Every structure is written in C-alpha cells, then in structure tokens.
Amino acid sequence: MAALSLPFLGLLTMLLTRLLNACHHFPGFVYEGARLCEATQSIEIDVRPRKGSKPICSCCHQPARGYDSLTQRRFEFIPVWGFAVFLLYTMRRVDCRACGVKVEALPWANGKHTLTRAYMIFLAQWCQQRM
C-alpha cells in the first residue's frame, strides 16, 4: 500500500466521519475521529456520547443518570473500500431508578454482539442475493 500524505489522510478521516454523521446518525452520540490502521487493514472510528446526553437503561429503555464507565469496546461496521471498519466506544453504566446499575443500551448494537445492527442487515441482504 502506498504511503498517503498526512493532509490527505486527515481529509479522508474528516470525510468518513461526515459521511457517517449524515447517513448513520444516532441522537446522543458523535463520531469523533477516524484513523487508518495499516497493520490490521482496518479503519477505527471513535464514538463518544454527545455532551449533556443521558445514557439509556438497557433493561427498561428509559434515560438514567450515569454511574461510571467500562472499558472500550469494538463494534464491527460495514467494510469500506476493502477495509474492516470498527466503531470504538467506551460503554457507560447507568444508575436506573427502576432497574439498578446496568450497562447502557446502544442504538447500533444488540446486547453483547460485536457486530453492529447495520452490518448484520448488510450481511443478511448479501446472503439473500447469493441464494
């Protein structure tokens, strides 16, 4: 792979985050930055909660106040230009009045699955086309 200049990489990451915000936007979350990881042939995109947004309880799906944060998780997204794409997000725990301390619900993931919903749908449609 040819070495890309830093201004060009900066432009690509800005365009990718802009494209995701336009096409795959989730209220309460922001795509903060993207970087190309040449060793793994992947693109890593940082996701963070929007300032002032409350996390959603994964049990009752009601907004709750934050409790603390867990370690960062990787969610596999639809590949772009032959590169695997991962959303990186530091999960928050919520202190729900009804359910107690739980991990927040994420609009792009189901439970503990590491694939995003969008990637699951993409794969299901791809499999149907192959049959």
Residue at 1 is within a domain: no
Residue at 96 is within a domain: yes
Q: How far is 121 from 63, CA to CA, in rounded Å?
A: 27
Tally of structural domains, the chain? 1
> Using 50, 70 and 90 to split pLDDT, how confident is the model at 18?
confident
Dump strand ranges (E) for 21-126.
29-37, 42-49, 65-80, 83-96, 100-103
Beta bridge partners of 128: none
* Residue 104 domain boundaries: 6-130
Q: Strands 42-49 and 65-80: what pairing?
A: unpaired
Non-local (6+) Cβ contacts of 24 within 8 A are 108, 118
pLDDT (0 to 100) of residue 78: 92
Task: Determine if the pTM surpasses 0.85.
Answer: no
pLDDT of 68 strictly over 70: yes
